[in-house]
């Protein structure tokens, strides 16, 4: 219905019908294999030793490169022009590759966004991604207890400082393996902070899942 009212064109070639047509998807949007999604060094389970230690994640599973113009355009459309269905499209592509079958987990959490962003957009993009990918409610709440500046444009140290102590988890996660979902991973600072809070709440293992990596 929405498609009829607002026809969607491929952001790469302009063909009408979907956000990225099958041919452009095939030519542009392959997933990275056997690399650390954060620093791109060789790694197992999506992380090199250094980034595993930094984030505290046991595994990191990411969709597509944010440097790819088609992927970036879809995420920007969702972030700044409120096209939540662009996220649903990307999540479905990710799901088609059986990302949910790759991992064993108990509960799902997502990175919270600032209250102002939520008010502007009217939807929580990380929640949409999480519930689409794992086909269940994201039952673990990571609370945002302090407003933070946007991470974009900050270096690694500044990102770490900006996000520090801004999350809180009140659920009891004792012995649980938690999947935590974000839209894009860059330095891993946001995930690191989420891991810290989830583990303080008792989580024994945290697996990161993001739609894109920078
Ligand atoms: Zn196309
Ligand atoms: Zn790394």
| pLDDT, average across residues 46-73 | 94
pLDDT of residue 5: 58
Taking the CB of residue 1, how many other CB atoms lie within 10 A of it?
5
Domain definitions of the chain by residue range: 1-30, 31-213
CA distance 43 to 52: 9
Out of 79-83, 123-127, 156-160, 163-167, least confident range: 79-83
113: confidence class by pLDDT, cuts 50, 70, 90: confident
Q: Give residue 101's pLDDT band: very low, low, confident or very high (50, 70, 90).
A: confident
Which CATH number describes the domain made up of 31-213? 3.40.50
For ligand 2, the distance from its centroid to the CA atom of residue 1, given in whole angstroms, is 43
Ligand at shortest distance from the CA of 22: 1
Q: Give the bridge partners for 213, in sequence order.
A: 65, 185
CA 23–ligand 1 middle distance (angstroms): 6
Q: What is the pLDDT, as a whole number, of residue 71?
A: 92
As given in the structure block, the two tokens for residue 124 are: 């929580």
CA of 7 to the centre of ligand 1 (A): 14
User: Residues lining ligand 2 (ion), CB within 5 A?
Assistant: 36, 38-39, 48, 51
* pLDDT at residue number 119: 65
Q: How far is CA 11 from CA 8, 20, 112, in A?
A: 9, 6, 28
Which of 148, 127, 149, 147 lies closest to 138, judged by CA? 127
Chain segment 146-200, per-residue pLDDT in tens: 888 888 888 888 888 888 889 999 999 999 999 999 999 999 999 999 999 999 9
pLDDT confidence of 135, banded at 50, 70, 90?
Answer: confident
Distance 69 CA to ligand 1 centre (A): 12
Integer Cα distance of 158 and 2 in angstroms:
41
Q: Does position 48 have pLDDT exceeding 60, yes or no?
A: yes
Gyration radius of the chain over CA positions: 17
Q: Of the bound ligands, which one is closest to the alpha carbon of residue 15? A: 1
The owner of tokens 């197992």 is 44
Confidence label for 28 from pLDDT (cuts 50, 70 and 90): confident
The answer to whether residue 65 scores a pLDDT higher than 50 is yes
Task: Please give the Cα distance from 132 to 199 (Å, whole number).
Answer: 25
The pLDDT, as a whole number, for residue 1 is 43
The count of other CB atoms within 10 Å of the CB of residue 41 is 12
Task: Give the model's pLDDT for residue 172.
Answer: 96
11 Cα–ligand 1 center, Å = 7
Looking at the chain, list the stretches that DSSP marks H as alpha helix, in order from N- to C-terminal side: 2-5, 22-28, 49-55, 69-81, 84-96, 115-121, 125-134, 156-163, 189-200
Instruction: Give the number of the ligand closest to the Cα of residue 14.
Output: 1
Tell how far the Cα of 72 is from the centroid of ligand 1, in angstroms: 15
């Amino acid at each position: 219905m929405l498609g009829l009212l607002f026809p969607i064109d491929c952001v790469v070639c302009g063909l009408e019908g979907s956000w990225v047509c099958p041919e452009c998807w095939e030519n542009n949007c392959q997933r990275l294999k056997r690399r650390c999604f954060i620093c791109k060094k060789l790694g197992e389970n999506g992380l090199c030793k250094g980034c595993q230690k930094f984030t505290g994640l046991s595994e990191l599973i990411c969709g597509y490169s944010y440097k790819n113009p088609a992927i970036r355009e879809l995420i920007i459309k969702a972030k700044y022009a409120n096209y939540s269905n662009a996220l649903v499209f990307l999540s479905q592509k990710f799901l088609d590759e059986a990302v949910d079958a790759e991992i064993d987990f108990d509960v799902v959490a997502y990175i919270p966004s600032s209250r102002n962003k939520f008010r502007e957009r009217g939807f929580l993009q990380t929640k949409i991604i999480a519930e689409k990918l794992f086909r269940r409610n994201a039952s673990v709440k990571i609370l945002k207890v302090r407003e933070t500046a946007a991470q974009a444009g900050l270096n690694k140290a500044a990102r770490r400082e900006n996000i520090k102590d801004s999350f809180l988890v009140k659920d009891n996660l004792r012995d649980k393996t938690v999947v935590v979902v974000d839209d894009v991973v860059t330095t891993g600072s946001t995930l690191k902070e989420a891991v810290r809070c989830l583990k303080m709440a008792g989580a024994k293992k945290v697996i990161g899942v993001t739609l894109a990596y920078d």
